[in-house]
Chains A and B, each alone.
Chain A
């Protein structure tokens, strides 16, 4: 039986008619009724098991034995240009300056930024490409460190999405819908599988500071949506105070905090008996989790004992809190402690103009640390059951936005074809999956839609994407909505 139905029956049993009328007289019935009528509030349960109030969400069971136990998603916000990093297109060189043929564009809608252009002159990448690793993967000179780990990577060159602007596209990748309000990928995983580490949340978010004027990121991207709020992504920052409001205020010590929580729990339990609102359980679980995190977080994130050669491996930025490199190091520390889903966002890939210069700076800020993270996980034996994902919300087009010169050009958003790489458990090392046309504009072979990608990652986690559902407002939702196919050839 469905968990939500169980809860509903539970509520139903306890709210006998006599009780209900009695409580109505003091006004509480109205609140109870409200919670009854609002099925979106469910208790702090994971998909496969219930939990008693005040406990960490029960740890769930995968549908089949998982290959991946943890995910680190290095989200490259702003959309990296696959044509300057991964997808080598010599044709753009021979057709440099000519218009993108209409037979290739096929009426693809454009953003307001280039829709008014009278010409769409093709811009070849100014960067050198070469093939790396045993499987001879194409990569540009912008990613010398990533090139080193080519043998550990799995490339999807045929990603495609539906959105053409940042906010809907990131939201689509993270929640399966372009409109806000659905649970984030990490929240679904937290809901489905729970947390192995009872002292840490299953879903942690790391934001790395981008450059000024970047596309913004919103808390909705790591929101639990209609799932119980324990599954919300918890934002960790680098530095002495990683989680906002986690430390006790001045003058409150740990024992008095404990006493306060114990009294609060009693009150909450009273309230739950009256109201039966499962969100109260969520709230209690959160308080207890926060209490445990007061000690577990500083311990987990303590990088003072990291040797110099580790910092050197991640690059000089790794010593500066809040940088991508520092967050990659934190991500490793989190998965070492079995945090299920670490979502890292790095801003600054939105090169509409001045691309050759800007993308060089941007690539430099992520290249070494991304590669170091994969190597570091591998040395520790973590890459065996951790999946690292690297990619943005869409790609960039082959024609120049603005004036095209031999030295300078810009690229506008492009949803029909872009590249994402993965490294780690369950996927074929050294595989390049999918193919784009000579312009890098259309996928010609083995397309992978965002929903397919989500289905595949869930599959690796041992979850059938069609079975991980939650009923809200009268219908069942899933991360992949009504779409998505597991990309089986990618599986190792």
Chain B
């Protein structure tokens, strides 16, 4: 039957049977490798007198090595009919493979009972044939690996200094993609699309192995397309071959990557589709394209910092932590912590591994200015301070001024005034300031204008006016100001008819 397939294989299109058996080549090829090496090891052992092996045992192993090598040759030929391999390497690999089979047969023949005696000078041929078969085995195996995985697969991770010694060029750092720090600024092809292609497609579509005459290893080759023409049509993601094939059912013969290979995730397909839809640009950044619902979360998951730009191209990973939470501070002395705790304050580490502390007066509503002098004792560690609804006033803020790493400060429903807010000027990391229910006025707000780190300030039920808010907003344009509305507008907000929705009212009868 194999003969029939071989005959048939010479037709221009290899038959299914040919490819079916061809795909067994990588499986079968390992049998002669194992057999031959076992035979070699036994032979060495026997000659050194360390092993009590019969010669006939080794001969028998050689026989099966030869048989399996022959089958591997036939299957290998059938596999090559599928095409897509680098010609020269393939040719070398084929002849080396055939060589392994031939020399193994010779080594077996000269030792076999009924053939060996008929070959002149047979026993002299045994060792040379065996050795040649082994050498060819190594060469063929190496080229086979190169055909499958690419020529630099074996050595691509050679560490220095051996790399230079062996004359291997330094690793292509382009493959180590630029990490994405801010996804909005990422170059879509280079930093998002290309890494996907490199990890999922390039194994079979590269310079050494270009299945379907298609290469994804460089942008130029990607633009060129393959034997069926271009793989993408700019602006039409879903009609592009490189997307369509990914979306076919995995069982489909045309599905890519082939069944069993690592598949693209839905998110990756969505990204490629989006990139083509948006014109398949090779140099534009995320911010230059329109982000849609389908890719927004995927892009967001690529990480990177940057705040979410409202109404803009709002994609970003989790915002980076404030430096006061990530920096290393020494642990506070337990004695000092206990002193603070004595005033009724709750002192908690912000997390298991951090020495930063959160201090809260939730259980100490009578906490007063006199007690606040303990706070600077752990000034370096306090990052979150909650003194809401206590007896503290401006005098406490003079102590708070010493807490240089403060990130969040709760002063709501206390008697702090404008005068006290002066003390907050030097808090370079302050992001959250709650002043709701205090007697703060516009004059106090003016004191905040210098705190550039401030992100949110709460001013509900204070005496600030629209003018004061506008002035602050001008000084700190990114600051979110919550509150500052009168009680009347608050009620109206709650009662008013719903906002005008933009939608499909025309749809309903």
Contact = CB atoms under 8 A, between A and B. Distances in A.
A445 interface: yes
B389 to A, nearest CB: 8
Given A132-B499, A379-B490, A491-B317, 20 more contacts: A61-B352, A63-B352, A129-B503, A131-B502, A132-B501, A138-B503, A139-B501, A144-B497, A145-B494, A147-B498, A196-B363, A309-B491, A313-B491, A428-B300, A429-B308, A435-B293, A435-B294, A446-B267, A489-B297, A489-B300
Contacts of B483: 379
B453 to A, nearest CB: 15
Contact of B325 (A65, A132, A368, A381): A65
A264 B441 CA distance: 54
A433 to B, nearest CB: 6
Q: Which of A135, A313, A380 has the most CB of B within 10 A?
A: A380
B507 interface: yes
Given A313-B491, A338-B360, A491 B460 contact: no
A390 B175 CA distance: 45
Interface in A51-82: 59, 61-66
A307 to B, nearest CB: 7
Interface string B287-301: 000000110111011
B131 interface: no
A144 B498 contact: yes
Interface in B473-494: 482-483, 487-488, 490-491, 493-494
A243 B483 CA distance: 34
Nearest to B310: A134
Secondary structure type dominating chain A contacts? loop
Contacts of A145: 494, 498
A302 to B, nearest CB: 14
Q: How large is the interface on A (under 10, 10 to 19, 20 to 34, 35 or more residues)?
A: 35 or more
Interface residues of B, number: 59
Contact of A380 (B266, B346, B354, B436): B436
Nearest to A146: B498
A139 B503 CA distance: 10
B261 interface: no
A93 to B, nearest CB: 7
Nearest to A67: B318
B432 interface: yes
Interface string A337-375: 110000000000000000000000000000010011001
B482 to A, nearest CB: 6
A48 B352 contact: yes
A93 B301 contact: no
B217 interface: no
Contacts of A309: 487-488, 490-491, 494
Contacts of A93: 507
A196 B346 contact: yes
Interface of A: 48, 59, 61-66, 88, 90, 93, 128-132, 134-136, 138-139, 141, 144-145, 147-148, 196-199, 307, 309, 312-313, 337-338, 368, 371-372, 375, 378-381, 384, 428-433, 435, 445-446, 462, 488-489, 491-492
The 4 nearest A-B residue pairs measured at CB: A130-B501, A130-B503, A144-B498, A313-B494
Contacts of B173: none
B490 A313 contact: yes
B412 interface: yes
B410 A381 contact: yes
Nearest to A314: B494
B321 interface: yes
Given A144-B498, A381-B434, A492-B318, A63 B482 contact: no
A128 B508 contact: yes
B436 A368 contact: no
A198 B363 contact: yes
A65 B321 contact: yes
A131 B501 contact: yes
22 contacts: A61-B348, A62-B351, A65-B350, A128-B504, A130-B502, A131-B501, A138-B503, A139-B501, A141-B498, A145-B498, A148-B493, A312-B494, A313-B493, A368-B494, A372-B494, A378-B482, A379-B458, A381-B434, A430-B310, A431-B296, A435-B293, A492-B308
Given A130-B501, A199-B363, A338-B360, A65 B348 contact: no
